[in-house]
Amino acid sequence: MSINSSITVKCRDGKYRTIYSHWDGYPEHHMPILTGFYNDQEMAEKLVRLGDLSILAESIECPKGHSFDTPMEGYTVFYGRDRGEKKVGCKIRASYQGCLNVNERTYNYLWNGEEWSWRKKE
């Protein structure tokens, strides 16, 4: 189901990087993946540095044959890398609130440097 969300990471440089996530943005889908596979600073930052995504999955790697048109199960699909779209990189802001102003979606996920949390748009 197309439940849009945003994923924001507080990076080591103190800035917040946020990306758009198109499919399955509800907590029952995203939280197990985020907490299971992107649950440290390095992995959280790697995820958002690849920019906006279509489908969040367990891996950000890109095996041979994986693309937007031929996605492989278990691999995240990114708009830039896997579809060739432009201007889909992460947005950088000084605060989490600044990210919400740019990328307000139904659900918002935040890595605060220690753990993942989420909130639903009111």
What is the rounded average pLDDT of the residues 61-86?
A: 96
The H-or-E segment that residue 96 falls in is helix 96-102
Q: Is residue 1's pLDDT more than 60? A: no
Q: Which carries the bigger pLDDT value, residue 98 or residue 8?
A: 8
As given in the structure block, the two tokens for residue 112 are 């605060």
Query: What's the domain range around 15?
Result: 5-120
Amino acid letter, residue 11: C
pLDDT tens by residue, 31-72: 999 999 999 999 999 999 999 999 999 999 999 999 999 999
- Name the 3-class secondary structure at 6: strand
**Overall domain count for the chain:** 1
Q: Which band of pLDDT confidence, cut at 50, 70 and 90, is reported for residue 104?
A: low
What is the rounded average pLDDT of the residues 82-93?
A: 95
* Per-residue confidence (pLDDT) for residue 106, from 0 to 100: 85
* Per-residue confidence (pLDDT) for residue 97, from 0 to 100: 86
The H-or-E segment that residue 118 falls in is strand 116-120
What is the rounded average pLDDT of the residues 105-114?
A: 92
